[in-house]
Amino acid sequence: MDYLNLIKEAKLAMQNSYSPYSNFAVGAALITKKGKVYKGCNIENASYGATNCAERTALFSAIANGESEIEAMAIVSSGGEFTYPCGICRQVMAELMPNGKLIFSNDEKEYKVMTIDEILPYSFTKEDIR
């Protein structure tokens, strides 16, 4: 699957966003090395801190289904601009998809490809706790 198709999947995932508090919908779709797609959206809560971002929803779903090799993740939002992951999601990505590519897309149908290392340099990882 190419990046444009993965972006389409992320847009589909965004339709399921549960975001009555922020009204900011986010969609993410990842593809494994074997070609399976897992989608995620942001899921908010009246207790705001219990909110789960779209990126972690997609990633946790993949891990919960036994996946370990993530090739790439596309991310879109209702804001229409490139939307970059929050700090918590970056940390989770560094752990669970360290070599995965990130594809950010905006409403102009442009996209950018970045690495986890670019968005979270000098990260704290399991290597540091040995």
Binding site for ligand THU (CB under 6 A): 19, 22, 24, 26, 42, 44, 51, 53-55, 83, 85-86, 89
Between residues 63 and 129, which has the closer beta carbon with respect to ligand THU? Answer: 63
In the complex, least distance from residue 83 CB atom to ligand THU, rounded to whole angstroms? 5
Contact 29, 3 (CB under 8 A): no
Contact 73, 29 (CB under 8 A): yes
Between residues 32 and 42, which has the closer beta carbon with respect to ligand THU? Answer: 42
Q: Which of 55, 69, 110, 127 is catalytic?
A: 55
Report d(CA 9, CA 74) in Å as an integer.
8
Q: Would the CA dihedral through 95, 96, 99, 103 be positive or negative?
A: negative
In the complex, least distance from residue 97 CB atom to ligand THU, rounded to whole angstroms? 15
Q: Would the CA dihedral through 117, 11, 83, 107 be positive or negative?
A: positive
55 is catalytic: yes
Active-site amino acid positions:
55
